Amino acid sequence: MPLSIRIIQALVEARLLSVFLNYRRNDAEGEAGRLFDDLSLHFSQNAIFMDVAAIEPGRDFRKAIDHSVASCSVLLAMIGPTWLDLQDAVGQRRLDDQNDFVRIELASALRRDIPVVPILVRGAKMPRAEQLPDDLKELAYRNAVELTHARWKSDVQLLIQSIRRYVESPDASAHKVDNASGDPITKQPDHSPSKHLSPAIGEAASGSAISQQTIERVSRELAVYIGPAAEVLVKRAAKRCLSADDLCTLLAREIEGEGDRTKFLRSCRS
């Protein structure tokens, strides 16, 4: 198998090990922030997306959101008591607005068949299919998890156990949980090349000559086209690439449109 194909496969596997937190600020912002903090104790913060931020001026925010959601392996949909019926300034239900960020994120995950876990907080109930717009109806059939104030710690532990297989590689050992105490157990990370990668990729991971300055520059260039997911993708890809040119070539595949890919490669290699 050509090296470029093996690198692409490794990147795809790595970039999908992440969680996307979908929530509405006026409904479950506090619980979303609390859950983010708890998840960060067990998984890398780089593996948790809480907001789609830094969308470049002039970019289609729908595509930027879609790219960010596409980089996750599981989406947690925070649902509070006002989630279903919350209205905008003109009295329209927000879920009925095709440009609503919460709806766009959820619809993108459902369309891609990404696992979506409804997280019910403050006594919220699961919406029925007939209460949802067409592109969200599948949400009504996803198995939900309830997080309660009184049992928050134990509820979160159950949630973490259920999503761990989506977020960790099979041989992950850096962040394990003591089931008795619920506290993370941090082990010394293994810096040797993964046994699951080909020898060539392993050498790239342990001995990459790509500088931090190059990684930061490429991240900025890629963010113009795919948004905030760029930083994570570039860092992970850099560990598996043999040169800066390989890095740019690999990441160009994340960009839709031949014209944008060409512009990215030109700016990336300049």
Residue 114 has pLDDT above 60, yes or no: yes
Domain 18-168: homologous superfamily in CATH: Toll/interleukin-1 receptor homology (TIR) domain (3.40.50.10140)
Q: What is the pLDDT of residue 53?
A: 52
Residue 49 has pLDDT above 70, yes or no: yes
Question: pLDDT digit string (tens) for 125-162?
Answer: 999 999 999 999 999 999 999 999 889 999 999 999 88
Would you list the domain boundaries of the chain?
3-11+192-269, 18-168
Residue 170: pLDDT band with limits 50, 70, 90: low
Q: What is the pLDDT of residue 140?
A: 95
Q: What is the pLDDT of residue 13?
A: 46
Q: What is the pLDDT of residue 209?
A: 64
What's the predicted TM-score (pTM) here? 0.59
pLDDT-wise least confident of 58-72, 105-119, 155-169: 58-72
Q: What is the pLDDT of residue 156?
A: 93
Q: What is the DSSP string of 188-219?
A: ----SPPTTS-HHHHHHHHH----HHHHHHHH
Q: What is the pLDDT of residue 97?
A: 93
Q: What is the pLDDT of residue 61?
A: 76
Residue 14 has pLDDT above 70, yes or no: no
Residue 173 has pLDDT above 90, yes or no: no
Question: pLDDT digit string (tens) for 175-228?
Answer: 444 444 445 444 443 433 333 323 322 333 334 568 888 888 888 888 888 776
- Which residues, 6+ apart, have CB-to-CB distance to 9 below 8 Å? none
Average pLDDT on 242-261 reads 82
Q: What is the pLDDT of residue 104?
A: 92
Whole-angstrom distance, CA of residue 163 vs CA of residue 160? 5
The SS3 of residue 180 is: coil
Give all strands of the β-sheet with 145-147 in edge-to-edge order: 48-49, 19-22, 74-79, 116-121, 145-147
